[in-house]
Amino acid sequence: MPVENLEEDQAAHELECLARVLSEHDQLYHLLDSPTVRDDVYDSLRARNAALETYFPHLIRPDSSSRRIGAPAIESFKKVWHTVPMLSLNNALTEEDVAAFLSRVRQFLGLSRDVSVPVIAEPKIDGVSVSLRYENGVFVQASTRGNSIEGEDITENLRTLKELPFLLKKTENVPEILEVRGEVYMTKTEFAALNSKHAAMGESCKLFSNPRNAAAGSLRQIDPCITAARPLHFFAYAWGEVHNPHWDTHWEFLELLRGFGFMVNPLVHRCETLEAILEFYASLVARRDALSYEIDGLVYKVDRVEWQRRLGFMSRAPRWAIAHKFPGEQACTVIEAITTSVSRSGRLTPVACLRPITIGGVKISQATLHNEEEIARKDVRVGDTVIIRRAGSVIPQVVGVVAAMRPKDTQPYQGPAVCPICHSLTTRESEGGIRRCTGGLICAAQRIERLKHFVSRNAFNITGLREKNLETLYAEGLIRSPADIFRLEEQDSIKSITAISGWGTRSASKLFEKIRAKRTVSFDRLLYALGIPHVGEVLAKTLAAHYGNLARLRVAMVAAQDRTSDAWHELLNIPMVGRLKGEAITVFFAEQHNSHILDELEKLLNLQL
């Protein structure tokens, strides 16, 4: 519900929940490296908290997350003072933000619009930033960012990183003191492998929620042997304290780093114009998933060091750089209802109707919930605050529930007993949790698909009724059930058909001829044509051979409704018929509307054994 529409007690309740959830997350994130929700989700919860606090300032709680910045450093590591603070970056979310960044830079430097401001665009690695100190070319200390001024000494752990030079290669002039900053990361496949290894070792072993947390957790090990066993990598991208720097551009600095023996991201790119920057951004958005490591945007840095020096810093970020974030993929919202969609194959899919939210610039008001088993596993209920993920063009998914935000009096979800389209009973398959409508040929959601199957090549094979023709006759109301196909000629249909544009008397007669030729059909083809869930050609043949004729099969299937009957056991004993298929077949024959269709077809067809 929008903040403005909330009653005071509702707002107070929501603020209480948010304080608890956000504080839990802050602890997990800063101390234990295993957040239960992703950054963008966390951000949307914080945004909701901020909106509530702006509207209801008198309800701000002393334990609100907005009053806390970060978490204290873990006690067991020695503290390291950063002489040059490890600052963060301001964010640009839109192209306009990037353009505004460039104009600010120009304005600050007093440059006119026609002077180009080259920037270096670098992938923003989603890892852990560290600072490495070299004295006379020798690695002496590594530290985490901490609160940007004071971090933790992780020297021994970093010594185990294979990609880190202990001694800088002396191909270049090595500054007496050089702090190299960069990102420690784990690749996506290494992260997955580490988690599967942990999962195999049992529940007590911690699983990481993403590669960044796995990297952070691996660095914060008291025992460096554990870090050594973890697959960690490093990309260098900035400097901290330096004595006598002798590079004029960031690009030159990156070249130097390579010369010293560091890994520098191979995708770094020098851009002269806003257009070039945006083009590079678009190319990386497209390549993002294919990269072996996670990136969450690009960083643009003014190339000339002299300009960087003049631009300097604002409170917590440099004025000479900006992070151009990729569109977020996850956010939180509330499930307002759970409705059901019916597919053309009769499968019922629960759909979450959401309080609308915008993810990555796209407004979202629905998300799939897959099936009832999935809903039960995640325990998703109407009223719940949920995490929604929208990646690329796939249908938005419900990732999980923010349990602490659940309102009172919610009920576990129960699938619909009847189809929302045709009101026939639904059944839930014993395996996989899929619910189906039993309406089949009478259900408007499924009818056209079932009819197409009925006339298809391996079923009745009526070539004159392929795709378009069938669709037209269906739309005109001339064919609504399989029996209508064989009654087409009897009806006053020539008149009706020829009234449809594109049909002449000749083409209508030709169609009738084709249909007439198919009145004689084998029992197994008819069985297959009915489109009984899970009954393919082979099973149709087996059933036909076993029961001999339609009348016997129908009697047996009605008797098999009783799961203790001989008929049920006889059905289960047929090769290929398991419980799932057995249920689907008996349900089909038990439905009155299917019996009606079969009665009609028996009269119109000439069934052969």
Residues belonging to the active site: 124
The answer to the question of residue 89 lying near ligand IVH (CB under 6 A) is yes
Binding segment toward ligand IVH, per CB under 6 A, in 85-93, 149-157, 432-440, 591-599: 85-93
Closest CB to ligand IVH among residues 234, 237: 237
Binding segment toward ligand IVH, per CB under 6 A, in 39-47, 84-92, 166-174, 595-603: 84-92
How remote is the C-alpha of 194 from its chain's centroid?
21
Among 323, 367, 443, 540, binds ligand IVH (CB under 6 A): 323
Closest CB to ligand IVH among residues 92, 571: 92
How many CA atoms lie less than 13 Å away from 473 in the CB half-sphere? 29
Closest CB to ligand IVH among residues 289, 467: 289
Q: What does the alpha-carbon distance between residue 551 and residue 569 come to, in Å, rounded to a whole number?
A: 19
Q: How far is the CB of 215 from ligand IVH (least distance, A)?
A: 11
Among 14, 53, 122, 484, binds ligand IVH (CB under 6 A): 122
Per rule CB under 6 A, count of chain residues that contact ligand IVH: 14
Among 87, 132, 402, 540, binds ligand IVH (CB under 6 A): 87
Q: How far is the CB of 48 from ligand IVH (least distance, A)?
A: 22
Binding segment toward ligand IVH, per CB under 6 A, in 121-129, 396-404, 458-466, 560-568: 121-129
The answer to the question of residue 129 lying near ligand IVH (CB under 6 A) is yes
The answer to the question of residue 121 lying near ligand IVH (CB under 6 A) is no
Among 121, 125, 334, 422, binds ligand IVH (CB under 6 A): 125
The answer to the question of residue 269 lying near ligand IVH (CB under 6 A) is no
Of residues 330, 401, 402, 413, the one with CA closest to residue 364: 330
User: Which residues is 377 bridged to in the sheet?
Assistant: none
CB 22 within 8 A of CB 65: yes
Closest CB to ligand IVH among residues 321, 539: 321
Count other Cβ atoms within 10 Å, centred on residue 141.
Answer: 16
Region of residue 554 (left: phi > 0; alpha: psi -120 to 50; beta: else): alpha
What distance, in Å, lies between the first and last C-alpha atoms of the chain?
63
* Residue 417 buriedness (CB in 10 A; 0-12 / 13-18 / 19+): exposed
Binders of ligand IVH in range 500-539 (CB under 6 A)? none
Q: What is the 3-state secondary structure (H, E, C) of 55-89?
A: HCHHHCCCCCHHHCCCCCCCCCCCEEECCCCCCCC
Of residues 280, 258, 278, the one with CA closest to residue 269: 280
The answer to the question of residue 90 lying near ligand IVH (CB under 6 A) is no
Please state whether beta strands 397-401 and 295-302 pair in parallel, antiparallel, or not at all (unpaired): unpaired
The answer to the question of residue 183 lying near ligand IVH (CB under 6 A) is yes
Residues sharing a CB contact under 8 Å with residue 171, sequence separation 6 or more, in sequence order: 259, 260
Among 45, 105, 238, 434, binds ligand IVH (CB under 6 A): 238
Residues sharing a CB contact under 8 Å with residue 207, sequence separation 6 or more, in sequence order: 34, 195, 198, 199
Task: Calculate the alpha carbon distances from 49 to 115, 257, 282, 487, 559 in Å.
Answer: 43, 43, 32, 65, 61
Among 77, 101, 139, 237, binds ligand IVH (CB under 6 A): 237
CB 425 within 8 A of CB 417: yes
Among 25, 38, 124, 381, binds ligand IVH (CB under 6 A): 124
The answer to the question of residue 583 lying near ligand IVH (CB under 6 A) is no
Binding track, positions 282-321, relative to ligand IVH; x by CB under 6 A: -----------------x------------------x--x
Binding segment toward ligand IVH, per CB under 6 A, in 62-70, 118-126, 251-259, 349-357: 118-126
Interface residues toward ligand IVH, by CB under 6 A: 87-89, 122, 124-125, 129, 183, 237-238, 299, 318, 321, 323
